[in-house]
């Protein structure tokens, strides 16, 4: 990505009709009147000096893809934003990173080819993995998140352990890489494309070397990135997709009323809406859909650890209120970041009484259900 013109052209921004449908569905625009996808596109087309690159609003977009879905002219707005961010970085701009940029820092560290990691200490003795297998399980940053967000109850390692347990249950002994790198999703969407490419090259080489035919991941963002932004030469699927394929082997062992939050990456980006719902139903749970579901689902409020703030919190609280209003006891999601963001919002002591809901990852939910079965003999 070299020029603004290129970004406009490649992402069909010239086709914008200035109709404003994008802005009308944008959860940021609902709260921040000065932010508008339509205005950004139009401003970029009129701007010849590149001032848009220095406009802080460029970093507010969640790239949730609600706008693109509704656009009658098929303007690829989120890709346009990503490309513009790549250009903005070239102009020494960057978004405001949460958590003191800790997460971006570890991602950059992983881009170093000489880095030697030991990522497998979380594998307990009962979990079976293999050196060679048709299936590779891609863990992603789960253990890192556990370290950073364990204090607000976020699951990380537990998701990974549940994933291997489920795979074993399905008769699969997956390969798990000791030196796997971050998929690079966040850096890519923040415009740090060089680092993303380094991470992608390292991962691609390692994954191809396994000879596996299929990659399973428990993260919606890893799934999107590995499938759409990598060229691995193997099938990439989210755990929910694999589980749906093996619905018959799922235990109908738990009960309760849950709702499902569609992560942007798994839903609008990859079009996976029904498989998680299938799995939830198979486990014996009652589904209480939120008003905004599937393609109309609203993002968890923050993307790529950038530009968190009152707007993000407001989106999260609104989404949690929606889940409560649906009558759900538990909000199930298939993306660890959605889980972290919702838990962070729930951690607000002033909201404890109002928002009485649990947050769970689908993978751990399934593992729990299996646990119930084995406990009952």
Partner 1 sequence: MKKGALIVGGTLAAVEAALDLAQSGITVTLVEQSPFLGNVGLDWPQDGDRGEHEGTARLLEAVKHPRITLMTNTQVIAVHGRKGSFHVEVERTPRFVDLAKCTACGDCVDVCPIAIPDNGRTRKAIRGAVHGAVPDIFAIEKRGVAPCKATCPGGIHVQGYVALIAEGRFQEALDLIREDIPLAGVLGRVCYHPCEDACRRGTEVDQPVSICALKRFVSDYEVEHHGRPVVESARIDPELGRVAVVGAGPAGLTVAYFLARRGIACQVFEALPVAGGMLAVGIPDYRLPPQVLQREIAAIEELGVTLHLNHPVDAEDWSRLQREYDAIFVGVGAHQPRRLSIPGDDLEGVLPGVDFLRDVNLAGIKGAKPPAVGENVVVIGGGNTAIDSAMVAQRQGAQQVTILYRRSRSEMLANPWEIEEAEEEGVRFHFLASPLRVISDHDHGRIVALECIRNALGEPDQSGRRRPVPIEGSEFTIPCDTLLPAIGQTVSCAFEGLDLDRWGSFRVDPVTLQTNLPNVFAGGDAVIGPASVIESIGDGRRAVESIIRYLRGGDLTQGRTAERTDISSIDYYTPTEPLVRARVQMPHIPPEERRGYEEVALGLTQQQAIAEAERCLSCGVCSECLACVYVCDPAAIDHDQKAERWVMDASAIIWTDAAGPTPPVTRGNIYELHGDDPLVASAVAAQAMADLAAFRQKRPLPRWVPFDSDPRIGVFVCRCGDRIGEVLDIDALVEAGSARPGVFHSQDLPFACQPDGATTIKKAMADHNLNQVVLAACSCCSLDQVCESCTYQRVRCKSNLLSVPFDLMNLPAEFVNIREQCAWAHRDDPALGTAKAKRLIAAAVAKVGLLHPALRAPRKVADLDGRVLVAGGGEAAAICANALRAQNFAVTRSPQLPSAVNGSLGRFSVAQNGAIIETSVVVLAPTDEGESAQIAPRSGLFVCSPIGDAELTGAAVAAKVGAALGSGRVVARHNVAYVDPSRCRACGTCEKVCEHLAIQVGEVDGHPIALVEPLLCQGCGVCAARCPSGAIAAGYSTDKQIEAMLEAILGE
Contacts with partner 1, residue ranges (CB under 8 A): 96-100, 308-310, 312-313, 344-345, 347-350
Closer residue to partner 1 (CB): 41 or 344: 344
For residues 157 and 150, what is the distance between their CA atoms, to the nearest angstrom?
A: 10
Rank residues 165 and 337 by Cβ distance to partner 1 and give the closer one.
337
Backbone angles phi, psi at 115, to 5 degrees: -65, 130
CA 202 to CA 196: how far, in whole Å?
10
- 3-class DSSP assignment, residue 230: coil
CB of 329 to partner 1, least distance (A): 23
In whole angstroms, how close is the CB of 154 to partner 1 at the nearest point? Answer: 12
Place of tokens 């962070």: 344
Structure tokens at 149: 């967000």
Residue 67 Cα distances to 36, 86, 191, angstroms: 10, 20, 19
For the bound state, the minimum distance from the C-beta of residue 300 to partner 1, rounded and expressed in Å, comes to 13
d(CA 234, CA 213): 5
Q: Give the nearest distance from C-beta 99 to partner 1 in angstroms.
A: 6
Which lies closer to partner 1 via its Cβ, residue 233 or residue 349?
Answer: 349
31 vs 296 by CB, closer to partner 1: 31
* 100 versus 171: smaller Cβ distance to partner 1: 100
Side-chain half-sphere of 149: how many Cα atoms within 13 Å?
26
Q: Which is nearer to partner 1, 296 or 313 (CB)?
A: 313
Closer residue to partner 1, CB minimum distance, 47 or 347: 347
Shortest Å distance, C-beta 284 to partner 1: 35
Phi, psi of 259 (to 5 degrees): -125, 160
How far apart, in whole angstroms, are the C-alpha atoms of residue 205 and residue 189? 22
Q: To the nearest whole angstrom, how small is the minimum distance from the Cβ of residue 234 to partner 1? A: 36
> Which parts of the chain fold into alpha helices (H)?
4-10, 21-25, 27-31, 37-46, 66-70, 77-90, 102-110, 142-149, 157-169, 185-189, 193-210, 220-224, 239-245, 274-282, 310-325, 336-346, 362-375
Q: How far is the CB of 47 from partner 1 (least distance, A)?
A: 24
């Amino acid at each position: 990505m070299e020029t603004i013109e290129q970004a406009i052209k490649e992402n069909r921004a010239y086709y914008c009709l200035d109709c404003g449908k994008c802005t009308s569905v944008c959860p940021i625009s609902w709260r921040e009147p000065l932010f508008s996808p339509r205005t950004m596109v139009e401003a970029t087309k009129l701007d010849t000096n590149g001032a848009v690159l220095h406009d802080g609003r460029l970093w507010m977009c969640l790239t949730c893809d609600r706008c693109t879905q509704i656009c009658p002219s098929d303007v690829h707005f989120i890709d346009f934003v990503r490309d513009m961010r790549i250009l903005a970085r070239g102009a020494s701009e960057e978004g405001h990173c949460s958590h003191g940029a800790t997460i971006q820092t570890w991602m950059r560290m992983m881009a170093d080819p000489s880095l030697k990691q030991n990522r497998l200490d979380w594998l307990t003795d009962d979990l079976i993995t293999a050196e060679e297998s048709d299936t590779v399980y891609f863990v992603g940053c789960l253990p890192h998140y556990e370290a950073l967000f364990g204090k607000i109850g976020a699951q990380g390692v537990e998701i990974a352990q549940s994933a291997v347990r489920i795979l074993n249950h399905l008769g699969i002994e997956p390969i798990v890489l000791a030196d796997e790198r971050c998929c690079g999703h966040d850096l890519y969407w923040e415009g740090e494309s060089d680092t993303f490419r380094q991470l992608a090259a390292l991962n691609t080489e390692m994954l191809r070397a396994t000879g596996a035919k299929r990659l399973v991941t428990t993260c919606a963002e890893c799934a999107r990135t590995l499938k759409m932004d990598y060229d691995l030469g193997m099938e990439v699927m989210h755990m929910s997709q694999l589980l749906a394929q093996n619905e018959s082997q799922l235990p109908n062992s738990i009960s309760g009323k849950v709702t499902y939050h569609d992560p942007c990456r798994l839903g609008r980006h990859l079009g996976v809406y029904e498989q998680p719902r299938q799995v939830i139903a198979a486990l014996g749970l009652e589904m209480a859909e939120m008003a905004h579901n599937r393609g109309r689902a609203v993002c968890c409020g923050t993307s790529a650890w950038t530009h968190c703030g009152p707007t993000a919190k407001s989106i999260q609280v609104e989404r949690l209120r929606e889940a409560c209003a649906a009558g759900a006891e538990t909000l199930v999601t298939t993306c660890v970041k959605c889980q972290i963001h919702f838990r962070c919002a729930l951690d607000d002591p002033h909201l404890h009484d109002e928002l009485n809901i649990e947050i769970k990852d689908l993978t751990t939910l399934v593992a729990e259900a299996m646990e119930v079965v084995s406990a009952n003999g």
